[in-house]
């Protein structure tokens, strides 16, 4: 069957409209990733899935196809946590997952931060922008990322480096101009042996996200509705999530007030300037520099909202990875990593590896 045949199955208004089986979803996404169909057909299929709502079987089938096409990094590495925020980035919030990941690595877990830059439609700020400003950067080579994680417990990898066909699909994303199954699947391109922290948008998607990770073979994972759909918890309100621990799905709530971290507003960029027409926040050098400096301030021990949010994000990574049993233990371990300078040491070690 072609992608057009699968489109007829899921398209609204058809008499025989139904959900795809996992096998059908796999074959449909395999067709997309093999580029056997034109952009218009791919866009129509992705929009139809969005309009219908993707099921656990469909998203799992899509992700399985993506993993089979990808060159995954850190396969089988023990104690690994893959941190997977949205690749299209944030529009106004600083990407504090960089500081959180370095803090968690300083506390003892291995962290692979999966990111990219200039991803449409929003082309927002991402970890790639921040790391470049900090003098480190990401790699497109999965083997190089694996070497970084093995040697200093932290690495940042372009998802497009694992799955290069995503670059050719950017034209589809630009044309559709909305989040589709691509935005979900690219956050799930990780080895099943790893624990995974995934950012999720608001709405009834948490259960689906975690059930998909469970069906893909993960035993530890968390989906969290952080700031702008990312992995950084809120400070103004509680953050909802769902955790996978072994065979069990457990509700996860990050309450900043429990740790004395609640504030009247979320971390803000100290400098804000509207991006030029046709560009996103990630294309704006002033915003990139401001986001980078905010992460640098956290790692330097500067108190404030950004530090609080980064510590909560690190605690979540530590709990998901099994390094800490509770968020409270994670906050203590993250605070020690930050105050001891271990998180900054790992960043400096990564810079040395990249020379």
φ and ψ at 163, to 5 degrees? Answer: -135, 80
| H-helix or E-strand spanning residue 155 | strand 154-158
- When pLDDT is averaged across residues 260-289 and rounded to a whole number, the result is 80
Give CA torsion, residues 287, 85, 131, 315, to 10 deg: 110
CB-CB contact of 61 with 97 (8 Å): no
pLDDT value at position 310?
98
Cα within 13 Å of Cα(289), Cβ side: 6
80-84 and 195-199 beta bridge pairing: parallel
Global pTM value: 0.95
For 56-91, the pLDDT digits (tens) are 999 999 999 999 999 999 999 999 999 999 999 998
Task: Write the CB contacts of 230 (distance below 8 Å, at least 6 apart in sequence).
Answer: 85, 86, 90, 93, 95, 97, 199
CA distance 291 to 296: 9
**117 closest CA partner among 145, 64, 65, 156:** 156
CATH architecture of the domain with residue range 3-69: Up-down Bundle (1.20)
Residue 51 predicted with pLDDT over 80: yes
CB-CB contact of 62 with 26 (8 Å): yes
pLDDT value at position 88?
93
Residue 202 confidence class, pLDDT cut points 50, 70, 90: confident
For 164-193, the pLDDT digits (tens) are 999 999 999 988 988 899 999 999 999 999
Every domain range in the chain assigned CATH 1.20.970.10 = 3-69
Residue 227 confidence class, pLDDT cut points 50, 70, 90: very high
pLDDT value at position 153?
98
Task: Write the CB contacts of 174 (distance below 8 Å, at least 6 apart in sequence).
Answer: 120, 121
Residue 273 predicted with pLDDT over 60: no
Task: Write the CB contacts of 305 (distance below 8 Å, at least 6 apart in sequence).
Answer: 235, 263, 265, 266, 267, 268
Give CA torsion, residues 208, 211, 215, 218, to 10 deg: 120
Residue 322 predicted with pLDDT over 80: yes
- When pLDDT is averaged across residues 130-144 and rounded to a whole number, the result is 96
Output the CATH code of domain 80-353: 3.40.1030.10
């Amino acid at each position: 069957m072609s992608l057009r045949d699968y489109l007829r199955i899921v398209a609204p208004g058809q008499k025989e409209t139904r959900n795809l089986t996992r096998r059908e979803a796999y074959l449909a996404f395999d067709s997309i990733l093999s580029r056997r169909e034109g952009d218009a057909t791919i866009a129509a299929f992705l929009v139809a899935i969005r309009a219908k709502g993707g099921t656990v079987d469909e998203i799992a089938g899509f992700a399985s196809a993506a993993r089979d096409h990808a060159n995954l990094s850190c396969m089988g590495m023990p104690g690994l946590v893959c941190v997977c925020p949205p690749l299209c980035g944030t529009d106004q919030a600083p990407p504090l997952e960089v500081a959180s990941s370095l803090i968690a690595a300083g506390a003892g877990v291995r962290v692979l931060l999966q990111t990219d830059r200039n991803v449409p439609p929003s082309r927002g700020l991402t970890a790639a922008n921040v790391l470049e400003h900090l003098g480190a950067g990401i790699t497109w080579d999965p083997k190089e990322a694996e070497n970084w994680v093995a040697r200093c417990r932290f690495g940042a990898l372009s998802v497009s480096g694992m799955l290069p066909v995503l670059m050719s699909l950017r034209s589809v994303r630009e044309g559709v101009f909305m989040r589709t199954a691509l935005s979900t699947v690219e956050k799930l391109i990780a080895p099943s042996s790893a624990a995974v922290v995934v950012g999720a948008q608001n709405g009834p998607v948490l259960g689906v996200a975690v059930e998909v990770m469970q069906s893909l073979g993960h035993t530890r994972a968390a989906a969290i509705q952080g700031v702008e759909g990312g992995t950084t918890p809120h400070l103004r309100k509680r953050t909802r999530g769902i955790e996978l621990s072994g065979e069990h799905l457990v509700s996860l709530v990050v309450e900043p007030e429990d740790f004395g971290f609640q504030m009247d507003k979320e971390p803000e960029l100290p400098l804000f300037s509207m991006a030029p027409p046709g560009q996103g926040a990630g294309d704006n050098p002033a915003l990139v520099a401001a986001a980078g400096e905010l992460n640098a301030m956290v790692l330097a021990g500067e108190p404030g909202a950004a530090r609080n949010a980064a510590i909560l994000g690190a605690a979540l990574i530590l709990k998901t990875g099994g390094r800490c049993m509770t968020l409270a233990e994670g906050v203590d371990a993250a605070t020690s990593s930050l105050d001891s300078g271990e998180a900054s040491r790992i960043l400096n070690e990564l810079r040395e590896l990249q020379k």
